[in-house]
Structure 1
């Protein structure tokens, strides 16, 4: 009897030794393909063997554990090693002229003759541009998107509700006339308008959108840190005059939407703007891409026919900033200089 028990113990010991040897060879037989990441393999718990034959449950557990280790070594469980992709660029869109056409009721020349408005509010009739909803979805997939309009806040909200809809919550910010600079000058767009048009609509203020306010997070309500965005990763779409003080090649200036044009495909899948933005999303640098892929109207420079007027605007704004800078310390010490970049005025 004693002899049989001794043989049984020897059998168990030999089996354990063989199993441990096989396991050790298995652990060291494959190489972890990411040596810079420490791989923690759970230690197997010692089991008290009460029988010479292992139970079926024990075999299943060991098999599952071995399969799990094999999956890790083969790289199938590398979903935890998530590597963040490149940060999306910031795209700043307008509303009127690009996404919609907005016409005041007392301006008959601006009201389309071939179609009815998609919706109206107050004194305005609004006409959606073809593909505008799909275009906004496209932009939100590839960029961080903000809306910046020179219209009043209440007018913007009407358009956002009727055009953007549920996508409104995905837009990072919505800026209006209050975040623009009123230069104190008037737009030249309406200089040839009939004199019977009311003065307050005929003499439209010249507003400017300064990108540095976005980059410096001036109003402290933007969802990014100061300096996170700059001229290298920001694109403004607007009228040329509204980008008068911005660094070169940080904006494009498409011509305004003509609601009477039934063939308009500018925002469509193969449209000019969407093709341009598709390439911009993959580009490494905004100014370089904009310089190499011209679209829309040219920026306002000293070759512009109205440069004499716009140079006065630039001088006036710069003088205003210089006055603020030279004022005795009435601003906090941590405030940044008002001027980071100034256009060169050539006579």
Structure 2
């Protein structure tokens, strides 16, 4: 029998992709910039157990899925401006989006500061740049520090990456019915439109702070997550050619 997690994953995939670009795709050259999207907290709010008195877009495996307003228009905008990949810590996405799921995250034995039931995982962009997944539709090194941006509402997940390769939009909640961040005049859409036109992506990110602040030495959670990375480095010693360290923003 299929697990609840697999059932939930399939539904999130269908909700996220239904209708994107009218389900029509053509073979084309890869775009110059790669946008790596999270799902929960960015394009949808996945709530368990389902809240009473509110009707979600879908319920499956005791999880209520609320699509973010303008999510479909936002995805079409992203497809037009960027090469798009989805990297979620909970699900794997179907073609034509290049995808990374939880199996590609760098896992730890720790829980997050915000939620004692949520495991700490990191999204190490080197796994994309070095093409650890052979199914990715680009050559190793095509995307790198100069042309890749991760969008995730959990700043700790980017601690293994250079600071100018991640932006942390504020977490979407289904309770915010007036949210328009993904809309045509929304703050995130405007930010990414500027990024798409920028000659130097890293400089644009550095000069245009957006959303949540990254975790730095001045952050209350710094010591905790710094120790998590240090423990990860120790546990991975001799098992990987990757050295883990926290990359501190200036």
Q: Above 0.5 in TM-score?
A: yes
Cα pair 2:35 2:148 within 8 Å, conserved? yes
Q: Which residue in 1 is equivalent to 2:78? A: 139
Instruction: Give the distance between the partners of 1:139 and 1:126, measured in 2 at CA.
Output: 22
2:106 is the counterpart of 1:181: yes
Q: Does 1:262 align with 2:165?
A: no
Secondary structure of 2:157's counterpart equals: helix
Q: Distance in 2 between matches of 1:284 and 1:170?
A: 27
State the distance in 2 between where 1:258 and 1:204 align: 18
CA distance in 1, matches of 2:30, 2:200: 12
Q: Tell me the SS of whatever aligns to 1:324.
A: coil
**Contact preservation (8 Å) 1:231, 1:286:** no
Q: Which is richer in strand?
A: 2
Question: Considering only aligned residues, what root-mean-square deviation do their CA atoms show, in Å?
Answer: 2.2
**Which residue does 1:128 correspond to in 2?**
67
Please, which of 47, 51, 57 is the counterpart of residue 103 of structure 1? 47
DSSP-derived class of the 2:80 partner:
helix
The verdict on how the C-alpha distance between 1:277 and 1:320 changes in structure 2, with shifts beyond 3 A counting, is: same
Distance change >3 Å, CA 182–CA 123, structure 1 → 2: same
8 Å Cα contact 1:92/1:235 also seen in 2 = yes
Counterpart of 1:89 (choices 24, 30, 33) is 33
Task: Judge conservation of contact 2:30–2:83 (CA < 8 Å) in 1.
Answer: no
- SS of structure 2 residue aligned to 1:249: helix
- C-alpha offsets along residues 272-306 of structure 1, whole Å, 9 cap, x if unaligned? 00001001111122221111111111111111101
Q: Which has the higher helix share?
A: 1
Alignment-derived partner of residue 304 in structure 1:
219
Which residue pairs with 1:276 in the alignment?
191
How far apart, in 1, do the equivalents of 2:30 and 2:103 lie? 32
Q: TM-score, normalised by structure 1?
A: 0.59
Kindly report which structure 2 residues correspond to 1:207-246, keeping only aligned pairs within 5 A, or say none.
207-238=121-152, 239-246=154-161
3-state SS of 2:164 partner: coil
Give the secondary-structure state (helix, strand or coil) at the position aligned to 1:290: helix
Bigger relative contact order (CA 8 A; separation at least 6): 2
Q: Is the 8 A contact 1:232 1:286 kept in 2?
A: yes
Larger Rg: 1
Match runs of 1:57-96 below 5 Å: 87-96=31-40
Unmatched runs of 5 consecutive residues or more in structure 1: 1-83, 158-167, 192-202, 326-336
> SS state of the match for residue 174, structure 2?
coil
Match of 2:245 in 1: 342
**Structure 2 vs 1, CA of residues 86 and 133 (structure 1 numbering), >3 Å: closer, same or farther?**
closer
Post-superposition offset of 1:85: 9.4
Q: Distance in 1 between matches of 2:155 and 2:203?
A: 18
Looking at structure 1, the residues matched to 232 and 246 of structure 2 have their Cα atoms a distance apart, in angstroms, of 11
Query: Structure 2 CA distance, aligned partners of 1:85 and 1:279?
Result: 22
- What secondary structure sits across from 1:266 in the alignment? coil
The alignment's TM-score, normalised by the length of structure 2, stands at 0.81
Deviations along 1:93-130, one digit per CA (max 9) or x if unpaired, are 0111010010011xx7xx375x4101111110100111
* Separation (CA, whole Å) in 1 of partners of 2:176 and 2:119: 28
Stretches of structure 2 that go unaligned for 5 or more consecutive residues are 1-27
Shift of residue 308 of structure 1?
A: 1.5
